[in-house]
Structure 1
């Protein structure tokens, strides 16, 4: 069962990496907020139909917990999708992957504690990698990269909230509420800030891409991830998720022609290395005696 869960988690991660490329192509025809809106309304409808029996069990505490998580998640997806419009799928994948580093850092801020040595080294290396990957010649970060990074911060907050609430509430109900809140937020901002998308752009190719992101970038993936993470450890799940930006980079390079030169490759390797150090290296290997526990990430 554990091996099946690991395989399922890997498939989910590959599909998520591919969704960066699908999203980039979709954004050639639609606007970021309307794309996010369509994606999450579709996922909400599908999950609502599949799990309609559970909705009858929805109570006020679960609703409030889901709303809190959903606001953070919705902001994350809105910022990420806006950023994806102005950067490459490869860079968006690697920058989003920084949530692996950001979660322990934010938890330290919340708990007013010092990060462990492995977390400090991982954060430093990933930050340098982000700079190498995203900074221009005049040392300014592009608008798209900045939006994706802020989205990763919001995702990290949602992960921390999930870790606080998931054990006490129905995870499927929480998931449906999160996705529904994201749909509502993106619909509100789309109507407020963006012009309507012309109906004629919705050809067969675009509809198929939208269906892919609704099913395998949102609805099915989320359910499979919830099941898989109930069978494997948080660290194992996080390590598999490290593959996501790599997949996004590979698909972006071969399908969209995203540039992968020395600058992009160096920054990406630093980010991945920082993620792996944060997850794998025991503090006792890097610090004086007395510090023995290693942090794990619940994603």
Structure 2
């Protein structure tokens, strides 16, 4: 393994810890700020900060950067919208587990759209996750009472969004792209979508108030997290990234 690959492998492990902490900080502010407000602040401000630091690089933005950035923004926006809303109706531990379903969704999508065979270890992992899902979803084993609430269903849709985002980045290496430019477009697109959805569905404007939890989500869980993750996919295979990230959901 090359030195650069080892470095990014370690960084992805660090991201697993960061991603796990995000559930707690979202839960801290979900009652005081709407889901779309949280998403707007996290991603739009991240996009602005990255744009300020990489303004010279951004001037080289090309067609592929723009298209892939917008697609990545739509996929990740859907993931975080479903995740943040889902957390209002389910527990942190249950959402963390259900989000990890993307690890089996990715190879399934890869098979459906790109005809890549599903490996045996992925099938075994799918069975294990399915068993885990049954255990956390049964309310009464004696009477065979199964329960998936509204928040759980939203979280499964969230896992699909994360899977599409990771799969996209694993397929764009052959194009003439700039990962930083794609990340900036992705972050800004998510922020703009959140702003629009906030006005349409929440029927109110963004409340511009900051807290420690929100600042942590912006700087650590969003800017640091997704910049490193997007760059890492140039050096670390997608299946290794998803196995490492699943450690902390």
Q: TM-score range by the shorter chain?
A: 0.7 to 0.9
| Structure 1 segment 32-181 matched on structure 2, within 5 A | 32-112=35-115, 115-137=118-140, 138-168=145-175, 169-181=177-189
1:85 partner SS: coil
Segment drifting more, 21-30 vs 236-245 = 236-245
Number of residues paired by the alignment?
A: 241
2:204 partner SS: coil
TM-score, with length taken from structure 1: 0.73
Let me know the Cα RMSD of the aligned residues: 2.3
2:32 partner SS: coil
- Pairwise CA distance, 1:236: 4.2
- Pairwise CA distance, 1:63: 0.8
1:10-51 Cα shifts (integer Å, max 9, x gaps): 222211110111011110211111111121111111111111
Given that 2:179 and 2:231 are in contact with CA atoms closer than 8 Å, whether structure 1 keeps it comes out as no
Alpha-carbon distance in structure 2 between the residues aligned to 1:216 and 1:209: 10
- Pairwise CA distance, 1:127: 2.1
Report what 1:244 is aligned to: 248
Alpha-carbon distance in structure 2 between the residues aligned to 1:106 and 1:191: 33
Structure 1 runs of 4+ with >6 Å offset: none
Report what 1:274 is aligned to: none
Segment drifting more, 111-120 vs 185-194 = 111-120
1:128-164 Cα shifts (integer Å, max 9, x gaps): 3223223544423111111011011111112222222
Higher RCO (CA < 8 A, seq sep 6+)? 2
> What 5-or-longer segments of structure 2 have no aligned partner?
none
1:237-257 Cα shifts (integer Å, max 9, x gaps): 333212222xxxxxxxxxxxx
Choose which of 172, 193, 202 in structure 2 pairs with 1:194. Answer: 202
> What 5-or-longer segments of structure 1 have no aligned partner?
246-299
